[in-house]
Chains A and B, each alone.
Chain A
Amino acid sequence: MKTIHLLAAASIAVASGLGATRAHADELTLCWAAWDPANALIELSKDFEQKSGHKMSFEFVPWPNFADRMLNELNSGGQLCDLMIGDSQWIGLGAEAGHYVKLNDFFAAEGISMDDFIPATVTGYAEWPKGTPNYWALPAFGDVVGWTYRKDWFERPELRAEFKEKYGRELEAPNTLAELKDIAEFFQGREIDGKTVYGAAIYTERGSEGITMGVTNALYNFGFEYDDPENPYHLDGFVNSPEAVAGLEFYKQLYDCCTPPGSSDWYMSENIDAYKSGQVALQMNFAFIWPGVNADPNVGGERSGYFPNPAGPGGHFAQLGGQGISVVSYSDSKDAALEYIKWFAQPEIQSRWWDLGGYSALRAVVEDPGFATSQPYAQTFLDSMAIVKDFWAEPAYASLLLSMQERVHNYVIAGQGTAQEALDALVADWVEVFEDEGKL
């Protein structure tokens, strides 16, 4: 009898416990791009499911279609996503069109401080308008364009000797864009282990954002500015300055001299494939790929090295990537979504995020004394995050981006017109966009 009572009591306790969980349990959908870090996030989120009782599901879209698919979802007021890890440039649209929930009050109530995150990621992923304390996202994934190189090739004595004889310096990771081009030229068409290899895989993709994310790494470092720092939206003489023209010409020269044949429409995955298959000595890509490169059986470990985007005559910058995590205002589960953000912001979760291959933007993680040596690419990540610059994050960013894709691709890949003409045309396009937006 006693046993029966105990069983009954246990059953009631279990049932009531389950009932309590069910009463508060939501099913949350998190939307992001389909890439390696997304898989790491699934693994990380199991802890949230266990602790909160909420069930997580994920909607991941490949990068070339990510913006299209997700912006359509937001623009149509869709309820597919409760949480959105949207690209940094969407923040203006997300805030102004009311797609994202403003998080200031939530951060204040939960003691989440933006001072605890890398400043560049707060500006890039969370703030709108830029430079103001209005937060629409929590920095979720720090990312930046950097370079990977074949360290094992660079260490070969015969190649080092030949390079030194030709260029008068050691074959090392480049410090300047000019040095980078020399190295790419040196490897272009060379026979290594019986196979023809090429200099560099760079971003050239036409359809989404590829070539813009690539060319800006040259433009910024030659002196390109988006607008007059003293006079916002005044573009002429900044976007198409002589320095910007030189930067664009440099990128075209790099494409013409030192890239694999047929690389006229390459972005992240094509560059990874070219590098991992041993086609190229250098690879431009976002830092998110580095854990994968490091673990690769063919090019990983000691065979690869990493360096930040090299400096140019006009400065030292790198194109910011990465995303913040936002709560979608059309969600029916906003409270649960906020719970997820609160859980995600915890230092121990952020630390685990880094361990799994996600790039944490929390200062407690990246400023930890052991961080820089925790992975072969960790120091390069820190150095790169210190020099970031981002594309427009205006609500009309898509129009601005597509114009740049068109103008730059026309010049760099199709070889139509001059760099000056391309940037003059870009100024005209952007002026039209800002006029339509009522900002000019």
Chain B
Amino acid sequence: MSETAMDRIAKATPPRVARRIKGFSDRTIAWIFVAPTIFLLLAVNIFPLIWTIRLSFTNYRANRPNAELDWVGLRNYQRILNDGDIWQTMQATAHFLFWTLFFQVLIGFALAWLINRKFKGNDLWTTIIVLPMMLSPAVVGNFWTLLYQPQIGLFNNIVAYFTGADPTSFSMIGDVALAPWAIVIVDTWMWTPFVMLICLAGLRSIPDSIYEAAECDRASKWRQFWTITVPMVLPFLMLAVLFRGIENFKMFDLVVQLTGGGPGNTTTLTSIELKREAFEKWRTGYSSAYGIILFVTVFGLASIYVKALNKVKER
């Protein structure tokens, strides 16, 4: 009879350890192995979450830990939901989220489709395209602040070259109408390669035999694209949207470097506002409530999205 993996583990177990666990049921041993992970999960995730929920009903300020703690009920939630500025930051976040995802999916898929075709220098182009996403967001933020500079910035001068407009006549990060687009452009520049890579993985996972069968059926390229390529890449694309959506919902560093949330509140995203409330104003109770609202929003939206993603996969 051949030796099983369990037998090998049993043999390899030092006698001292074997003596100690002798008599333990498999279930107990399983619990012993899982316990540290559960403990860490409770300590690092669950306890802070419960603690945050508790703090959200108080006026606690972390910079004054000895001050009297008042139970304020739902006041923090009421204030947040009735605050026009908070809704403005939500709007700014929604604008940023929608347009970055839109452009990244569109351009990312197009790039993946082009890169997937065999041509000379394919690998070199892939490397070049992927470069922006390897940079630090702080570096990208500073770099683009210079590119957007009206007097010497490359971006303004390129736009001026093509449109004939005076490069100093517009400021991408100083104008209320342009600033939201300025951050969309930079995020798209930086993260489109990520979407492209995921789409490329999807495209390369489609077996050639399917296209060959379609060719035999005399399906046009257009028909092949819509009935083979798009449906088979869709789960990958949806996964990319999920990753980028979650990342961009909590976008902070890039936008702070670029605009500081301005002009005014135009590019103040929820994460920037939350950080100001929590670690600059030190309204810990209030920001806890804000955090809970954001958590519920993201969790709810992500759950719906994951269900949709699973349905697409099952098709």
Contacts and interface: CB of A to CB of B under 8 A. Distances in A.
A126 to B, nearest CB: 22
Contact of A206 (B63, B64, B262): B262
Nearest to B266: A414
Interface in B35-57: none
B62 A75 contact: yes
A403 to B, nearest CB: 9
Interface residues of A, number: 32
Given A75-B63, A261-B171, A262-B171, A206 B281 contact: no
Contact of B276 (A205, A261, A402, A415): A402
B64 A97 contact: yes
A416 B261 CA distance: 15
B263 A264 contact: yes
Interface size bracket, B side: 20 to 34
Given A206-B261, A207-B256, A409-B262, A93 B63 contact: yes
Contact of A436 (B59, B63, B153, B259): B59
Contacts of A67: 280
A185 interface: no
Nearest to B276: A402
A395 B262 CA distance: 26
A410 interface: yes
Contact of B282 (A75, A196, A416): A75
Nearest to A433: B281
Task: Name the residue in B175, B264, B276 with the highest tally of chain A Cβ atoms < 10 Å from its Cβ.
Answer: B264
Interface stretch (B15-23, B144-152, B185-193): B144-152
A399 B151 CA distance: 35
A263 interface: yes
B150 A207 contact: no
A410 B176 CA distance: 10
B282 A264 contact: no
Contacts of A262: 148-151, 153, 168, 171, 173-174
Contacts of A260: 151
Contacts of A415: 176
Contacts of A383: none
A161 B174 CA distance: 35
Nearest to B170: A261
Interface of A: 67-68, 71-72, 75, 93, 97, 196, 205-207, 260-265, 279, 395-396, 398-399, 402, 406, 409-411, 413-416, 436
Given A68-B279, A262-B153, A279-B151, 18 more contacts: A71-B63, A93-B63, A97-B64, A262-B151, A262-B173, A264-B173, A264-B174, A264-B262, A264-B263, A265-B259, A265-B260, A265-B262, A398-B281, A402-B280, A409-B264, A413-B262, A414-B263, A416-B264
19 contacts: A68-B279, A68-B280, A97-B63, A206-B260, A206-B263, A206-B264, A207-B256, A207-B262, A262-B149, A262-B168, A262-B174, A398-B282, A406-B264, A406-B265, A409-B265, A410-B264, A413-B262, A416-B264, A436-B59
